[in-house]
Amino acid sequence: MSIFKNRTMVGALCILLSLIICFGVTPLFNRAVSAKTDIVRVVKEIKAGEKITEAMIQTAEVGGYGLPDSVIRKPESVIGKYAKADLAVDDYILTAKLSETPVAENSYLYSLDGTKQAMSVTIKQFAEGLSGKLQSGDIVSVIAPDYLKQGSTVIPPELQYVEVISVTASSGYDANTGERVDNGDDRELPSTVTLLVTPEQSRILAALEADGKLHLSLVYRGSDDNAAKFIEAQDKALAAIYPAAPQEAKSRDVSTSPASGTSEVE
């Protein structure tokens, strides 16, 4: 008799639990699944580093179930910011994919104040640019074969320590990011290297670019603090070479650059 009563009790509890699930939990779950919410969706392909405009996005209503908490829901939270990764059409946007400032490779282009300039030089041969191994933030020396038509291969004292801003392929993509391209290769070979230089340095680079003769050698890769020490040493060398007033120094021709302090390459 007790066994029968126990079975009856278990059965009643099962029936009660089923009713709770059917008429309580299930409707709540269905409402959660069918709930709608607005999100920001990409309508025009956005490349990493691009500034996002209103024309690139739109608000769309989607099911809210399973959406990450970090998904962007308001256009004003996106417009004017920079993409940290490529965004395809119909992608929704996460806060982790946005930056208030340009990505590292482009940051100097937005903060130049006239004291230094961004200048690109062509890598005509694979070996001239460290075989494609250069990266943003590297400190390099510029080696000039037949410098000033004197027959010597030297490192001009003005170009002993120069910072690399970016390495760019012929397609315009940054070649040092591992970015995939349409041909399916993991990365493209570098075509130009953009350097952060003073006006005096830029004129020497322009002359070397016109001659088509320059090589880049890696001096340092590491922390920003240590890299800054190399740039500080270079700035001191420039101040010693060009002690005149800034306007007078800017008017100098590259051919008058002193050769006595050059570092000759054996």
pLDDT of amino acid 172: 64
Where exactly are the structural domains of the chain? 36-99, 105-264
Total H helices, total E strands in the chain: 6, 11
> Among residues 60, 20, 22, 16, which one has the least CA distance to residue 38?
60
pLDDT of amino acid 113: 75
Q: How large is the angle between the packed helices 199-211 and 224-241, nearest 10 degrees?
A: 90
What's the DSSP call for residue 23? I
- The helix or strand, by DSSP H or E, that contains position 203, with its residue range, turns out to be helix 199-211
| Per-residue tokens: 111 | 């903060």
Q: What is the mean pLDDT of each run of 10 residues along the chain (266 residues)?
A: 61 72 60 71 88 91 78 91 88 87 64 83 77 86 85 91 87 55 54 90 91 88 91 94 61 45 52
- The helix or strand, by DSSP H or E, that contains position 217, with its residue range, turns out to be strand 215-220
pLDDT of amino acid 230: 95
CATH level 3 topology of 36-99: Type Iii Antifreeze Protein Isoform Hplc 12 (3.90.1210)
Residue holding tokens 């400190």?
139
